[in-house]
Amino acid sequence: MSRIKDAFDNKKAFIGFVTAGDPSLDKTEEFVLEMERAGASLVELGIPFSDPIAEGPVIQDANIRALKAGCTTDKIFDMVKSLRQKTQIPLVFLAYANTLFKYGYERFCGKCRDVGIDGLIIPDIPFEEKHELSDISSKYGVDMISLIAPTSEQRIQMIAKEAQGFIYVVSSMGVTGVRSEIKTDVESIVKSIKEVTDVPIAVGFGINKKEQVAKYTQIADGAIIGSAIVKIAAQYGERAGDHIYEYVSEMVSAIYTHG
Amino acid sequence: MSKGRYGIHGGQYVPETLMNEINKLEESYEFYKKDKNFNDELDTLLREYAGRPSLLYYAEKMTRDLGGAKIYFKREDLNHTGSHKINNVLGQALLAKKMGKTRIIAETGAGQHGVATATAAALLDLECEIYMGKEDTVRQALNVYRMELLGAKVHPVESGTMTLKDAVNECMREWTSRVDDTLYVLGSVMGPHPFPMIVRDFQSVISREAREQIIEKEGRLPDVVMACVGGGSNSMGMFYEFINDKDVALIGCEAAGHGVDTDKTAATMAVGMEGIFHGMKSYFCQDEYGQIAPVYSISAGLDYPGVGPEHAYLKDIGRAQYVPVTDEEAVQAFEYIAKEEGIIAAIESSHAVAHLMKIAPKMGKDKIIICCLSGRGDKDVAAIARYRGIDLHE
């Protein structure tokens, strides 16, 4: 069984996100372990990019901090390699297309397999463009995670049918970031996906509260929190580990359980 | 391979949230481009409002002074709002109306596209918001106020390098958060398909007219057609109808800033590498890890780290040639054409004029060059004065 499947195996998943290299790669390693200790089932590692067009201000700033601190794709691979000595938690990269393209798809996916990255989320590679990458990533056993948005409508099932790993349902319009209210009808999107695939579904974008975690882990198979965790890293920097542990523990406690 | 390809370039590298919207845009465009009413309306706007056709002007004094090829300027600077940008904007704003949109958003570098968009929005009763790098709002303060006068809201963008690239980022972010009533009126032949095609089609009026005009005046096609290239909209418009005329050389002039051997440059064709950014596969200035490079040019309109995918393709197949022009050369050309022809050309267009000054003297007197003057340079006067050490502020 692949590690991503493990994350959803007979349970609802909490997925945490951190921007790699913010404030340092040593700290990223620590934050991942803290999230795991707090009960996260899967962690997304953001590879910092100069121009992250799908991100709101919180993660944009984290990208800039990480790049200023000297974070590079190669250093992230080294960090993951070291992290893999300590944990088997499923890990996926969130990266922008140019990061992979410039590195070389083949070389990038090969490295992912070697260091133990299980999947890729590439916000600027939609369904129509995915084959140039997925043909290669699948050779290396790295899942390409599909995103489905509130505007996907008739595209939902087309995307879901070819989904690997898990499906990332974008709960709200716009960029990543903390929102007080989410208006999208996530329930009907999930229903539509379930009609064509058993691939687990996690909901993200704009989630930061226990009530939202409870709601989305009931409707879907998992909830993703990014900006709220990155905010903690921004606020506490080197000392953020404990705070991330506390926050994730609280969110995990809200995960929907039967009965 | 997906839609909108120019060789390996182009494509639709955008977040899923935008996919249905750009597909709808493509469908609407394919419908309206064949619709007689739409074309009549656009044609009327271009003639009665924008002032088309623009002149093809024979620069007799420059021709004599440079002593070589006959020089013609395609005077896009004489269009309403002062640049070629209005050609595309009227088309896209009209399309937005037909699609039932009530709001348009746009990025701007020098402010020319922003001013044109704000103008079309005022005329067609659309709400308008413009995203402009904070650095550029300072360089082009007059254009900011101009857009506000026209009823647009201008958002200074403070992320990244605070220039055109960041304005595009912010515009894309804004569009993903509000697609239902909003059309992103992209200003150049870049971004995800169908934008490079739509903008090229609306701008190709430049070469359609120029081709007829030169045949009328000279009874033949020109030997060289040239224009400045940032994202590449005026140059694509100037090239397009000449692409199949194999004997017509096409030359694009990029902004080299302090020079292509320095890190203060925006000459994508000279120093860029294949990449994926802003919705397209094309050439981009970037580092070894694919981080988009902070580029530089005296010209806010050419200060962009990428180039439209069709230009990348024309370069690959050798159909067009791309040359770098430095700040200093462009400023000299700006001053030269003002004194020689009494034309204050935009600093962007002055990059093309600078290269023209290099090649015209080496060509025979029987040769003909058409150079696109994409915009007028009133907006640049204060910046050029400062470049020359004169403390002039608007």
DSSP helix/strand/coil, B277: strand
Give pLDDT tens digits for B278-294.
999 999 999 999 999 99
Give pLDDT tens digits for A157-197.
999 999 999 999 999 888 877 666 666 789 999 999 999 99
Asked if B11's CB is within 8 angstroms of A129's CB, the reply is yes
A70 touches chain B (CB under 8 A): no
Number of domains chain A is built from: 1
Question: Residue A104 belongs to what domain range?
Answer: 12-145+212-258
Query: What residues of B are annotated to the active site?
Result: 85, 107, 374
Average the pLDDT over A65-80 and give the result: 98
Give pLDDT tens digits for B48-64.
999 999 999 999 999 99
Strands B9-13 and B5-6: antiparallel
Lookup result for tokens 């393709």: B313
Q: Which residues of B are less than 8 Å from A98 in CB distance?
A: 275-277, 284, 286, 290, 292
Average the pLDDT over B15-19 and give the result: 95
Answer yes or no: is pLDDT of B71 > 60: yes
- Let me know if residue A234 belongs to a domain: yes
Average the pLDDT over B74-99 and give the result: 98
Do residues B272 and B284 touch, judged by C-beta distance below 8 A? yes
Residue A135: CB atoms within 10 A of its CB come to 11
Q: Which residues contact B43 (CB under 8 A, 6 or more apart)?
A: none
Do residues B82 and B131 touch, judged by C-beta distance below 8 A? no
d(CA A150, nearest CA chain B) in Å:
7
Average the pLDDT over B373-393 and give the result: 91
A80 vs A205, more confident: A80
Amino acid occupying residue B246: K
Do residues B328 and B276 touch, judged by C-beta distance below 8 A? no
Q: What is the pLDDT of residue A257?
A: 84
Any idea what the Cα angle at residue B187 is, between residues B184 and B193, rounded to 5°? Answer: 65
B171 touches chain A (CB under 8 A): no
- Let me know if residue A52 belongs to a domain: yes
Task: Give the CATH number for residue A23.
Answer: 3.20.20.70
B11 touches chain A (CB under 8 A): yes
- Let me know if residue A57 belongs to a domain: yes
- H/E element, B91: helix B85-98
Task: Provide the chain B residues 279-308 that lie in CB contact (below 8 A) with chain A.
Answer: 279, 281, 284, 286, 288-292
Q: What is the pLDDT of residue A222?
A: 97
- Let me know if residue A44 belongs to a domain: yes
Amino acid occupying residue A188: S
Q: What tokens does B118 get? A: 């704000």
A60 touches chain B (CB under 8 A): yes
Percent of chain A past pLDDT 90, that is, above it, reads: 90
What is the rounded average pLDDT for all residues in chain A? 95
Do residues B246 and B386 touch, judged by C-beta distance below 8 A? no
Helix ranges restricted to H, B106-181:
112-123, 134-139, 141-149, 164-177
What is the rounded average pLDDT for all residues in chain B? 96
Q: What is the pLDDT of residue B1?
A: 58
A122 touches chain B (CB under 8 A): no
Return the minimum-mean-pLDDT range out of A82-86, A114-118, A240-244, B298-302. Answer: B298-302
A95 closest CA partner among A162, A202, A19, A174: A19
Q: What is the pLDDT of residue B142?
A: 86
DSSP B335-375: HHHHHHHS--B-HHHHHHHHHHHHHGGGS-TT-EEEEEE-B
- Let me know if residue A192 belongs to a domain: no
d(CA B172, nearest CA chain A) in Å:
7
A128 touches chain B (CB under 8 A): yes
DSSP state of B54: P
Rounded Cα gap, residues B115 and B101, in angstroms: 19
- Let me know if residue A84 belongs to a domain: yes
Q: What is the pLDDT of residue A177?
A: 75
Answer yes or no: is pLDDT of A259 > 80: no
pLDDT category, B394, cuts 50, 70, 90?
low
Residue B103 phi, psi (nearest 5): -145, 135
Give pLDDT tens digits for B142-162.
899 999 999 999 999 998 888
Any idea what the Cα angle at residue A179 is, between residues B105 and A120, rounded to 5°? Answer: 80
B87 closest CA partner among B136, B124, B54, B128: B54
- Let me know if residue A197 belongs to a domain: no
Amino acid occupying residue B323: V
Answer yes or no: is pLDDT of B109 > 80: yes
- Let me know if residue A156 belongs to a domain: no
The gap between the terminal CA atoms of chain B, to the nearest Å, is 50
pTM score of the predicted model: 0.96
Q: Which residues contact B76 (CB under 8 A, 6 or more apart)?
A: B54, B83, B84, B87, B206, B234, B372, B373, B374, B375
Answer yes or no: is pLDDT of B15 > 70: yes
Do residues B169 and B205 touch, judged by C-beta distance below 8 A? no
pLDDT category, B392, cuts 50, 70, 90?
confident
Return the minimum-mean-pLDDT range out of A236-245, B208-217, B378-387. Answer: B378-387
Asked if A60's CB is within 8 angstroms of B13's CB, the reply is no
Q: What is the pLDDT of residue B161?
A: 85
Residue A257: CB atoms within 10 A of its CB come to 10
Q: What is the pLDDT of residue A172?
A: 86
Size of interface A-B (CB pairs under 8 A): 117
Asked if A174's CB is within 8 angstroms of B176's CB, the reply is yes
Answer yes or no: is pLDDT of A230 > 90: yes
Rounded Cα gap, residues B141 and B111, in angstroms: 9
Give pLDDT tens digits for B239-270.
999 999 999 999 999 999 999 999 999 999 99
Amino acid occupying residue B111: G
Q: What tokens does A4 get? A: 């991503």
d(CA A246, nearest CA chain B) in Å:
31
